[in-house]
Amino acid sequence: MQAKPKIPRTEDRPSIALVGLMGTGKTTIGRKLAAQIALPFVDADDEIEQAAGMKISEIFERLGEPSFRDGERRVLQRLIGDGPCVISTGGGAFIDRETRAALLKKAVVVWLDADIGTLVERVSRRGNRPLLTGRDPETVLRELAETRRPAYAQAHYRIDSSVGAAHETVDEILRTLTEAGVLC
């Protein structure tokens, strides 16, 4: 494992946002990354659930996906404004043009990418994702990967999270951001 990065004062630091498909490990990796660089961690999906007083699956079921996306946009705008933290975003957040522009402007955006086989295996461990309900996960993930790739590719950095344990991906992010001068 590499040496711990030297960290500037909190108020001088940008937020780091993790984007990418469901199953890429955004939440697990985001939490570990935040701990390593001593920034608060926020999970956008949790914040949406808190704001709505409902689980995401319930929001999709009762209000529909467009309502979920509206809430997601509002929550992300608030989180970006709240300042320095590590944000794990839901898989569709960065596809929204407004959210993407705001994140690219105000945060360092890291795309966690992984091969479809890895994603299928990971999402099958948790059965509460509304976009997968009643559908074949591999088919959905392939479709989403294809349509969303052009948006994800606009992230500042791309890290492959298929290989190795979460802490290795965190090390890779730290190495990349340190080399780029984002962390020192």
Instruction: Please report, in angstroms and rounded to a whole number, the separation of the first and last CA atoms in the chain.
Output: 16
CA distances (Å), origin 30, targets 92, 109, 136, 162: 17, 12, 27, 15
Q: Compute the C-alpha angle 106/112/114, nearest 5°.
A: 160
Q: Does 119 bind ligand S3P (CB under 6 A)?
A: no
Of residues 4 and 121, the one with the C-beta less far from ligand S3P: 121
**Of the candidate residues 73, 77, 130, 178, the single one contacting ligand S3P (CB under 6 A):** 130
- 10 Å CB burial of residue 37 (0-12, 13-18, 19+) is buried
Q: Does 116 bind ligand S3P (CB under 6 A)?
A: no
With CB atoms as reference, the residue minimizing the distance to ligand S3P is 90
Q: What six digits make up the tokens of 138?
A: 């591999």
Stretch that binds ligand S3P, among 77-85, 88-96, 102-110, 111-119 (CB under 6 A): 88-96
Q: Does 142 bind ligand S3P (CB under 6 A)?
A: no
Phi, psi of 55 (to 5 degrees): -70, 155
Of residues 155 and 183, the one with the C-beta less far from ligand S3P: 155
Is the distance from CB of 168 to CB of 2 less than 8 angstroms? no
Of residues 77 and 178, the one with the C-beta less far from ligand S3P: 77
Burial 150-160, CB ≥16 within 10 A → b, else e = ebbeebbbebe
Q: Does 71 bind ligand S3P (CB under 6 A)?
A: no
Q: Does 175 bind ligand S3P (CB under 6 A)?
A: no
**Of the candidate residues 131, 145, 151, 166, the single one contacting ligand S3P (CB under 6 A):** 131
Contacts to ligand S3P by CB under 6 A: 22, 26, 45, 56, 90-92, 129-131
